[in-house]
Amino acid sequence: MTISITSSTSAPDKVKADLLAIPVYEGRELGAGGEIARAACGGAGLDSFMIGAGFDGKVGSTITVPVSNGGLAAAAITFVGLGKRDAVTLDTLRRAAAAVARRANKVTTVATTLLEAAPAGAESSAAAQAVAEGVHLGAYEFLRYKPEGKPTLLAKVVALGGGSPAAVKAGLARGSAIAGAVIRARDLVNEPGGSLSAVDFAAEAVKVGKVAGLKVTVLDEAAIKRLKLGGLLGVNRGSTEPPRFVKLEYVPTKRAKGNLALVGKGVTFDSGGLSLKTADGMETMKTDMSGAAAVLAAMSVLSAAGCGAKVTGYIPLTDNMPSGSAVKPGDVLRIRNGKTVEVLNTDAEGRLILADALSLAVEDEPEAIVDLATLTGACMVALGSDIAGLFASHDGWGQQVKAAADRTGESMWPMPMPEFYKPLIVSDVADIKNSGAGRYGGAITAALFLREFVGSVPWVHLDIAGPARAASDGAYNRKGGTGFAVRTLVELCCTYTVP
C-alpha cells in the first residue's frame, strides 16, 4: 500500500475524509472526537455494540462502525484502542497509528485524532513523529515478487490537531523520513540471498549514498586482500561470489559535534559453511545482513534528520557457503589487527568478518563504536525473539545507547561480558577460537570475541538475531525483516554526546 500522512487543524466533524479514526482507552472510554463519533454512529447503543463485538480498547485493536446519523463527511468510524489511559506512551501512538493505516487500505482518506491522545509531557513534534512512523511501518508490505499484489490504492492519513501546526508538520516529516529508512532496511533484508549478493549490496550502498549525501567507498576483493582482512577473506573462501567492504561517511555541514562509528554484519546468506546448518536453520538466513542494512538505512537519513555528529559506517559483505575451497574447521585466520583465530565452527562466521571491520573502525580513531549483528541463536534463547542483547565495554556509552533505544520503543537489554569467561575463547593453536566452548553463554562468548578487536574505544555490541526478523505480523512490524535498530541509530546519532 502506498500511504502518505499530512496534518490539518479541522475539527473531526468538519474534515473531509472517508473514514474517521478515534482513539479509545481500555474500558471503552472514548478519546478526542469521541462524543462526535458516538453521536454519528449509534449514540447510547455504541457501548453495547462494542461489548458485543469483544472490543475492549486494547492497544492496536480496532472496530469499524458505519455512520448512521449523518452530519459527518466520513462514512464510517474506526475506533482504535490505546490501552490504559495513564499508560499511553509514544510507542502506544505508533502502534495505534499502524492499526489505523491497515484499516485505511480500504479507503482513500482517513482522518484521525490520535495526536490528541499524546502522553502528558510529550512534545507535539515527537507525537507526530511517532504517528507518522506507525502509519508508514504498519502499511508496509514486501510485494516485489507478488506483482498482482502491487498497491492500487493511494491512501492518505490526515492527522488532526496535536498542538502547534508547525511542530506537528515537522514531526510528521521527520517520522516519514525515518520510516522510509526503516522500510529501506526491510526491503534489503527481505530480498533473497540469491538476488542480493555482496556486490549487489555494495552497488545499492553507492546508489543510496549518492542521494543521501554520503561518501561511499567500496573495497573490492583485491583491495580487501591488500588491507589483509583475513576474517572476511576466510568466510568468503567457500563462495563463488566475491566479497565487498563498504565504508560510508556522513559529515555534517556545521562543525561536527562528535565522531562515532557504526559497524554492521553483512552476511547476505548464511548456510553455515562446512559446519552446515540444517534445512530449517537456513530458511531465514537471508536475514543475516540485517546489521549491515540497519547501518546503511540509518545513515541514509542522517542529513535529513539534521544529525550534528560525524558518523562513519563499516560494512563487511559476503555470503557463507560450503565448497571445496571453503574455510575448514581447524583453519587459522589472521585478522586485520594481527590477531590469529582458530575457526572451529564455520557457522560462527559473523564474528570473523566483524573482527576485521571493528579493527578498521578503530584505526580511524572514533570516539565510540556501535556494532549490530544477527550474531547468535543463543541471544534468542537468552532474551526471546523481540529483545536485542546489549553488550558494552563502557558503562556510559552502554547507557547512552540503551536510552536512545528506550526513546524509540525498540527493546534492548544489557548483557554481561565477564572477564572470567575469557578462557572459553582461548585457543590451543591461535590467539582465540571462534567457538567450541560448548553452547552455554553463546551470546556472551561471541561478544567477548568481538571485544578483542575494539582496543580501548568505548564500544557497544547489539546482538539483533531475534528482533531483526518477525515470525508473524505485529503492531507495526510485518512478518519478515523488521528494520530493527534503524530508529535507535538515527536517534543515537542525532543526540550523541562523547561518552
Residue 383: helix, strand or coil by DSSP?
A: helix
Q: Which of 234, 442, 458, 483 binds ligand BES (CB under 6 A)?
A: 442
Could you tell me which of 403, 408, 413 has the C-alpha nearest to residue 462? Answer: 413
Q: Are 5 and 136 in contact (CB under 8 A)?
A: yes
Q: Which of 347, 371, 452, 491 binds ligand BES (CB under 6 A)?
A: 347
Distance of CA 492 to the CA centre of its chain: 13
> H or E segment at 247?
strand 244-250
For the chain, the 3-state helix, strand and coil shares in percent, each to the nearest 5, are 40, 20, 40
- Give the residue with the Cβ less far from ligand BES, 131 or 267: 267
Q: Are 133 and 186 in contact (CB under 8 A)?
A: no
- CA–CA–CA angle 230, 291, 272 (5° rounding): 55
Size of the site for ligand BES (CB under 6 A): 15
Backbone angles phi, psi at 428, to 5 degrees: -70, -30
- 23-31, 216-224, 263-271, 352-360 -> range binding Mn ion (CB under 5 A): 263-271
The pattern of x and - marking residues 461 through 480 that bind ligand BES according to CB under 6 A reads ----x---------------
- The label of the residue with cell 589483509 reads 228
List binders of ligand BES among 286-315 (CB under 6 A).
288
Q: Which of 133, 288, 371, 452 binds Zn ion (CB under 5 A)?
A: 288
Annotation marks residue 255 as catalytic: no
* Least separation in angstroms between CB 180 and ligand BES: 25
238 binds ligand BES (CB under 6 A): no
- 106-114, 203-211, 321-329, 342-350 -> range binding ligand BES (CB under 6 A): 342-350
* Least separation in angstroms between CB 375 and ligand BES: 6
* Least separation in angstroms between CB 347 and Zn ion: 7
Distance CA 482, CA 221 (A): 30
Q: Which of 345, 399, 427, 495 binds ligand BES (CB under 6 A)?
A: 345
Q: How far is CA 340 from CA 118, 250, 333, 456, in A?
A: 53, 32, 6, 19
* Least separation in angstroms between CB 185 and Zn ion: 17
- The label of the residue with cell 569467561 reads 421
Residue 242, C-alpha cell as written in the block: 566475491
Distance CA 167, CA 310 (A): 26
463 binds Mn ion (CB under 5 A): no
Q: Which of 308, 377, 455, 474 binds ligand BES (CB under 6 A)?
A: 377
Size of the site for Mn ion (CB under 5 A): 3
Q: Which of 270, 319, 452, 491 binds Zn ion (CB under 5 A)?
A: 270
- 5-13, 48-56, 264-272, 422-430 -> range binding Zn ion (CB under 5 A): 264-272
Annotation marks residue 277 as catalytic: yes
Residue 9, C-alpha cell as written in the block: 487543524
* Least separation in angstroms between CB 434 and Mn ion: 10
Cβ count near 9 (within 10 Å): 11
347 binds Mn ion (CB under 5 A): yes
How many residues are there in the chain?
499
491 binds Mn ion (CB under 5 A): no
270 binds Mn ion (CB under 5 A): yes
Distance CA 254, CA 238 (A): 45
Q: Are 446 and 351 in contact (CB under 8 A)?
A: yes
Catalytic residue among 84, 169, 228, 277: 277
Residues interacting with ligand BES, by CB under 6 A?
270, 288, 345, 347-350, 374-378, 435, 442, 465
- Catalytically active residues are 277, 351
